[in-house]
């Protein structure tokens, strides 16, 4: 579902991604951990082309992100074409960024109508289902300020689901939440994983990685230091840096 080949990203004088190679199979949950500043968010943002890599390729479901391939040559896509490539990729951020002046339902309906140009009544049914799926079927008419942080994050997940994604990217989705609200969001993500969704999850929730993650990637200084079966990496890290990081967070 995702193939990342030789990915590099530079910001100014900072070489933030230094040659990342990763594959995520369909239905797999890949968790990404690592110290702050190691490039985890940049990696996710390169997958859906919120950042443009300086080198390397990203394929999502066989589609080369950002380019059209023609007779062994690459042609840059226009923003509109990139937006179309991005459509099957849902992303959930640390900050939920809901529209404050819209209800939960309106937030979830917004992208399918505005971005995908779908008909309102079809979208409404799907949006209600998405909110039911995240446990907020009876909060459709609530505004973000009337919802807890955890509920807002679940609306953000429903908003991504309403676009019927084939891949979901999560960038520290529970880091901004009060501890007692983390569990409900992780439950929704667990259910999503069990339903067969392909997911890349940047998280500090090691318990989630152990329980739900198929694969675990440890990043440091823009490189994949270690990657493997989530439970094996957690129990028996091969790289001393991974071991030190896990000792510090567990
Ligand atoms: P992580 O998510 O692992 O904490 P990030 O991918 O956010 O790491 O950032 C990696 C490095 O790249 C950091 O040093 C950060 O300051 C830098 N960085 C990220 N985005 C930008 C940007 N848009 N412009 C300049 N530097 C950036
Ligand atoms: Mg980050």
Task: Render pLDDT for 9-50 as a digit per residue (tens, 0 to 9).
Answer: 999 999 999 999 999 999 999 999 999 999 999 999 999 999
Nearest atom within ligand 1 for CA of residue 202: 2
pLDDT at 134 over 90: yes
Task: Render pLDDT for 71-126 as a digit per residue (tens, 0 to 9).
Answer: 989 999 999 999 999 999 999 999 988 999 999 999 999 999 998 789 999 999 99
Q: What is the mean pLDDT of residues 141-163?
A: 97
The CA distances from residue 155 to 74, 127, 216, in Å, are: 38, 10, 26
pLDDT recorded at residue 180: 93
Alpha carbons 161 and 73: distance in angstroms, whole number: 34
Cα 138 to the center of its chain, rounded Å: 26
Alpha carbons 62 and 154: distance in angstroms, whole number: 29
Which residues are paired to 2 by β-bridges? 24, 60
Band (160; pLDDT cuts 50, 70, 90): very high
- Ligand 1 atom 18, closest CA: 11
CA of 37 to the centre of ligand 1 (A): 6
- Ligand 1 atom 11, closest CA: 37
CA of 45 to the centre of ligand 1 (A): 10
Cβ(220)–Cβ(38) below 8 Å: yes
pLDDT recorded at residue 116: 79
Q: What six digits make up the tokens of 116? A: 């995908």
DSSP string, 167-224: EEEEESTTTTS-HHHHHHHHHHHHHHHHTT-EEEEE-S-HHHHHHH-SEEEEEETTEE
Nearest atom within ligand 1 for CA of residue 172: 2
CA of 43 to the centre of ligand 2 (A): 9
CA of 41 to the centre of ligand 1 (A): 7
Task: Render pLDDT for 232-250 as a digit per residue (tens, 0 to 9).
Answer: 999 999 999 999 999 998 8
Cβ contacts of 217-221, under 8 Å, gap ≥ 24:
217/22, 217/30, 217/31, 217/32, 217/33, 217/34, 218/33, 218/34, 218/242, 218/245, 219/32, 219/33, 219/34, 219/38, 219/39, 219/40, 219/43, 220/34, 220/35, 220/38, 220/245, 221/18, 221/38, 221/39
Task: Render pLDDT for 180-237 as a digit per residue (tens, 0 to 9).
Answer: 999 999 999 999 999 999 999 999 999 999 999 999 999 999 999 999 999 999 999 9
Cβ(142)–Cβ(85) below 8 Å: no
Query: pTM for the whole thing?
Result: 0.96
Ligand 1 is surrounded, with C-beta below 6 A, by 11, 14, 16, 34, 36-42
Q: Which of 8, 37, 200, 221 has most ligand 1 atoms within 8 Å of its beta carbon, as the pocket-test mutant?
A: 37
Alpha carbons 223 and 202: distance in angstroms, whole number: 15
Tell me the ipTM for this assembly: 0.98
């Amino acid at each position: 579902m995702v193939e990342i080949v030789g990915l590099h990203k530079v910001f100014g004088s900072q070489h933030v991604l230094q040659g990342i190679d990763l594959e995520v199979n369909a239905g797999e949950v890949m968790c990404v951990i690592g110290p702050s500043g190691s490039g985890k968010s940049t990696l996710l943002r390169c997958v859906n082309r919120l950042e443009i890599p300086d080198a390397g390729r990203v394929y999502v479901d066989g589609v080369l992100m950002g380019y059209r391939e023609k007779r062994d040559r690459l042609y840059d896509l226009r923003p509109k074409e990139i937006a179309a490539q991005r459509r099957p990729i849902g992303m959930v951020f640390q900050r939920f960024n809901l529209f404050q002046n819209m209800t939960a339902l309106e937030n979830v309906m917004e992208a399918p109508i505005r971005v995908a140009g779908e008909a309102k009544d079809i979208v409404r049914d799907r949006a209600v289902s998405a909110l039911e799926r995240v446990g907020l079927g009876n909060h459709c008419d609530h505004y973000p300020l009337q919802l807890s942080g955890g509920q807002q994050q679940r609306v953000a997940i429903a908003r991504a689901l309403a676009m019927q994604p084939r891949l979901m990217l999560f960038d520290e989705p529970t880091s901004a939440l009060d501890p007692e609200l983390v569990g409900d969001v992780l439950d929704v993500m667990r259910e999503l994983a069990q339903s067969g969704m392909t997911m890349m999850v940047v998280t500090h929730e090691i318990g989630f990685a152990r329980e739900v993650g198929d694969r675990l990637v440890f990043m440091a200084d823009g490189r994949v230091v270690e990657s493997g079966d989530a439970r094996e990496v957690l129990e028996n890290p091969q790289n001393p840096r991974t071991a030190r990081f896990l000792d510090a967070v567990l």
